[in-house]
């Protein structure tokens, strides 16, 4: 039910988004909620009466970036005393009382309370901060249609929250327990995206593998989307190695529309570290999944997340991670230093690793992965791959930038080729992380 409100016509808002794809999706939900209450979306903060900063709390660095931005926005508010600054998202949930104490911050709202934002931004209504930070076990925003820009690729959240409680992770504390969206709502959303011109959808969840709505689990959800919508490409993230099933791999191999790319965070290659992380799998199980994926999906690209410097990580543990990366040979990897998150079990563990040692280990891993990534991408030279043109290249407006089904970025001449129409491209060279190529025939149907 809509809240009582003043006339908001002409009141403009702008959303700045930090963090993961789920936050970007949430910003689309927030935008829809405000538009449905009469607000208008501005093109930048300077044109806005209301600025919403949608935040990330996964690592300390992410929070420091937001705090710096909040500080800068004091000057933005001084230009117009009627402007309002609202902080939303995971950082708002974790540091709500601290943030609301900042003089130029007008309100905070956690991830489960976006429906109440119209009241919070309306200066004539008062909502207690406790209400704005209340977590629920049911909110999934299934009835809200995200306010998406017309595009080629978009996100759809299939679940919210997380039940894993990895010892280093703040997500279950700030996003609450896991709940899956109704299957029919997801199917309708993807179908509507395809009918609106979207070519690609990425299904989002903290752990997509544990999705379940009645008898519909994640492999079944993928099957239904592949068979009952016209979307050309289906991606998903993130998968948890503990819950990745052979059935899912079979489904991926059965449908051309399901992209052969699996992002499977390993985090560490040492069993003792994995156990302290509460990851729920062993090194050998992870390697078994890699072998199973490559057997069932021969052209699959595998990417991962790897953490260095977890409490108690010894040099031997670290070298086991190095060995795993060299054994698997990921197509790419996001490597990062452990960042202590207050309230998590890892924050209280003994054996905290020195920052300079974390940096050394991180650089070592980065160098290894760069070498592997470059070798793999150079091996693609001469091959022909399907590329979906998305945006103009940052190098030239005469070139398209697009991605392959395996999520490799390719730049190629536009040659009057249309955005959003798949094109076969021959890979001619590799420059850093970017592949460059040439269209070889007319666009694919």
Per-residue pLDDT tens for 286-297?
999 999 999 999
Half-sphere exposure of 382 (CA within 13 A, CB side): 3
Catalogue the long-range contacts made by 93-102 (C-beta closer than 8 Å, 24 or more residues apart). Answer: 93/57, 93/133, 93/135, 93/173, 93/174, 93/175, 94/57, 94/170, 94/173, 94/174, 94/343, 95/57, 95/63, 96/129, 96/132, 96/133, 97/129, 99/70, 100/129, 102/70
- CA gap 430, 1 in Å, rounded: 54
In this prediction, residues 80-103 reach a mean pLDDT of 92
**65 membership: H or E segment, kind and range:** helix 60-78
CB-based burial of residue 409 (10 Å sphere; 0-12 exposed, 13-18 middle, 19+ buried)?
middle
CATH of the domain at 320: 3.80.30.20
Which of 102, 132, 162 corresponds to the end of one domain? 132
Which of 354, 378, 402 corresponds to the end of one domain? 378
At 1, the pLDDT band (50, 70, 90 cuts) reads very low
For residues 185 and 285, membership in a common domain is answered with yes
For residues 195 and 334, membership in a common domain is answered with yes
> Looking at the 3D structure of the chain, how many domains does it have?
3
State the residue range of the domain holding 27.
12-132
For residues 213 and 279, membership in a common domain is answered with yes
* In contact, 153 and 409? CB cutoff 8 Å: no
For residues 174 and 312, membership in a common domain is answered with yes
CATH of the domain at 84: 3.40.50.12160
Residue 439 DSSP SS3: strand
Q: Is residue 141 part of a domain?
A: no
CATH of the domain at 423: 2.40.50.140
Q: Is residue 300 part of a domain?
A: yes
Q: List C-alpha distances in Å: 173 to 51, 101, 143, 218.
A: 25, 21, 24, 24
Tokens of 392: 């103009």
- Is pLDDT of 203 > 90? yes
For residues 318 and 422, membership in a common domain is answered with no
* In contact, 333 and 306? CB cutoff 8 Å: yes
Q: Is residue 349 part of a domain?
A: yes
Which of 332, 354, 378 corresponds to the end of one domain? 378
Q: Is residue 5 part of a domain?
A: no
For residues 347 and 390, membership in a common domain is answered with no
Lowest mean pLDDT among 228-237, 269-278, 361-370, 388-397: 388-397
Q: Is residue 105 part of a domain?
A: yes
The strand pairing partners of 430, in sequence order, are 435
- What's the 3-state SS for 25-53? HHHHHHHHHHHHCCCEECCCHHHCCEEEE
For residues 406 and 328, membership in a common domain is answered with no
- CA gap 274, 267 in Å, rounded: 8
For residues 408 and 359, membership in a common domain is answered with no
Positions of E strands within 124-257: 153-157, 159-160, 179-180, 200-204, 212-213, 216-217, 233-237
Residue 370 DSSP SS3: helix
**100 membership: H or E segment, kind and range:** helix 96-100
**CA-based diameter of the chain, in Å?**
64
Lowest mean pLDDT among 113-117, 122-126, 195-199, 332-336: 122-126
- CA gap 322, 234 in Å, rounded: 31
For residues 159 and 123, membership in a common domain is answered with no
Contacting residues for 297 by C-beta, under 8 A, at least 6 apart: 249, 252, 253, 260, 262
Q: Is residue 142 part of a domain?
A: no
Tokens of 198: 């979207």
Q: Is residue 139 part of a domain?
A: no
220 vs 82 pLDDT, higher one: 220
At 2, the pLDDT band (50, 70, 90 cuts) reads very low
At 3, the pLDDT band (50, 70, 90 cuts) reads very low
For residues 373 and 393, membership in a common domain is answered with no
Q: Quick one: pLDDT at residue 48?
A: 97
For residues 74 and 215, membership in a common domain is answered with no
* In contact, 94 and 57? CB cutoff 8 Å: yes
For residues 175 and 302, membership in a common domain is answered with yes
Q: Quick one: pLDDT at residue 7?
A: 55
Q: Is residue 168 part of a domain?
A: yes
At 432, the pLDDT band (50, 70, 90 cuts) reads confident
- CA gap 191, 176 in Å, rounded: 28
């Amino acid at each position: 039910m809509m809240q009582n409100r003043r006339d908001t016509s002409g009141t403009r808002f702008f959303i700045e988004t930090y963090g993961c794809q789920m936050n970007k999706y949430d910003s689309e939900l927030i935008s829809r909620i405000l538009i449905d209450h009469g607000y208008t979306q501005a093109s930048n903060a300077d044109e806005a009466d209301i600025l919403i900063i949608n935040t990330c709390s996964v690592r300390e660095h992410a929070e420091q970036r937001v705090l710096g931005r909040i500080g800068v926005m004091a000057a933005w508010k001084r230009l117009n005393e009627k402007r309002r600054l609202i902080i939303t998202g995971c950082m708002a949930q974790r540091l709500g009382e601290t943030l609301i104490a900042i003089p130029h911050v007008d309100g905070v709202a956690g991830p489960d309370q976006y429906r109440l934002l119209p009241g919070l931004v309306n200066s004539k209504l008062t909502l207690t901060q406790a209400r704005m930070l209340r977590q629920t076990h049911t909110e999934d925003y299934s009835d809200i249609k995200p306010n998406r820009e017309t595009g080629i690729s978009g996100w759809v959240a299939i679940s919210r929250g997380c039940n894993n409680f990895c010892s280093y992770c703040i997500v279950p504390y700030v996003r609450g327990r896991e709940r899956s969206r109704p299957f029919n709502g997801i199917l309708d959303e993807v179908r509507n995206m395809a009918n609106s011109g979207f070519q690609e959808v990425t299904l989002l969840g903290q752990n997509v593998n544990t999705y379940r709505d009645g008898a519909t689990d994640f492999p079944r959800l993928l099957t239904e989307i592949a068979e009952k919508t016209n979307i050309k490409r289906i991606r998903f993230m993130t998968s948890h190695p503990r819950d990745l099933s052979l059935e899912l791999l079979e489904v991926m191999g059965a449908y051309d529309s399901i992209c052969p790319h699996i992002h499977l965070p390993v985090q560490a290659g040492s069993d003792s570290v994995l156990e302290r992380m509460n990851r729920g799998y062993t090194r050998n199980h992870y390697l078994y999944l890699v072998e199973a994926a490559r057997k069932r999906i021969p052209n699959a690209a595998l990417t991962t997340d790897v953490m260095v410097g977890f409490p108690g990580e010894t040099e031997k543990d670290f070298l086991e991670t190095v060995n795993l990366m060299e054994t698997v040979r990921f197509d790419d990897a996001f490597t990062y230093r452990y960042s202590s998150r207050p309230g998590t079990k890892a924050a209280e563990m003994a054996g905290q690793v020195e920052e300079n040692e974390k940096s050394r280990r991180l650089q070592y891993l980065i160098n290894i992965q760069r070498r592997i990534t470059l070798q793999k991408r150079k091996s693609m030279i001469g091959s022909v791959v399907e590329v979906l043109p998305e945006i103009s290249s940052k190098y030239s407006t005469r070139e398209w930038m697009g991605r392959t089904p395996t999520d490799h970025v390719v730049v190629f001449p536009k040659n009057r080729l249309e955005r959003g129409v798949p094109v076969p491209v021959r890979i001619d060279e590799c420059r850093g992380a970017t592949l460059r190529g040439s269209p070889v025939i007319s666009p694919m149907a």
